Amino acid sequence: MTEKTDRILLCAATRWESEPLAAALRLVKTFDRRWEGTLAGRSLVLVQTGMGPVKTGERLIELSDEEFGVALSVGFAGALQPQMFTGDIVCDARGSDADLPGVARAISSRKGLALHFGKIAHSDRVVASPEDKLSMGVALRASAVDMETQALRAWADERELPVLAVRVVLDSVDERLPSAVPDGEDFVSLARFAARSWRDLPSLMTLGLRQKRAIARLASFLVELLPKL
């Protein structure tokens, strides 16, 4: 693959993604919402951006004076195609080296992880209904959707920095999600969301139970992939 560079940047939206990944990669918290460390001789920086393109863009501006060799968008994604299930890995490898798919497939095979290659589409909002998911998948020829990768690509393009999106499927295409999300991750924001969206709580609790297993599968995949970038 490309010549090894000094630092790899990983961007995850929420603490439910960033904290388990930091623990699995054995990174040390150095600042608020930032972890650093090494993996097989590679220097890693993981930042928690917040949900959505606006928060992601604002967080990335804080990193503009730093140099990285590659940037990764990591965390959860929603499936837009059938036969994609919770815990499956989805990789948007546009702009990556030609040998990446083979390397990724070998890792997924060793670990017994389902792996899908395809476009990860962008949405400014939660794509909640199965109908909207299927429609987006067909219209954009996309495998999955998230709310942050596009902002990372825009920031990285200005720096001529390669970007790879490696996400884990949280919800399948036939699942209906709550149409709103909490304003923040603190207790007050979560309590306010619960008060105004109580009908969505059973669905959110189901997703919450899946998150730990899904992010553990992504972490296991990244532990082997990152040193090979």
Residue ranges covered by each domain of the chain: 7-179+212-228
In this prediction, residue 209 carries a pLDDT of 77
Which residues, 6+ apart, have CB-to-CB distance to 161 below 8 Å? 68, 69, 70, 71
In this prediction, residue 143 carries a pLDDT of 97
In this prediction, residue 10 carries a pLDDT of 98
Structure tokens at 15: 């603490």
In this prediction, residue 179 carries a pLDDT of 60
The low-confidence residues of the chain, meaning pLDDT below 70, are 1-5, 179-208
Angle in degrees, CA 40, 60, 23, rounded to 5: 35
In this prediction, residue 177 carries a pLDDT of 81
In this prediction, residue 187 carries a pLDDT of 53
Give the Cα separation of 182 and 184 in Å (integer).
Answer: 5
Residue 14 is classified by DSSP as: S
pTM of the model: 0.87
What's the half-sphere exposure (Cβ side, CA atoms, 13 Å) at 20?
18
7-179+212-228 domain in CATH 3.40.50.1580? yes
Q: Is 168 helix (H, G, I), strand (E, B) or coil?
A: strand
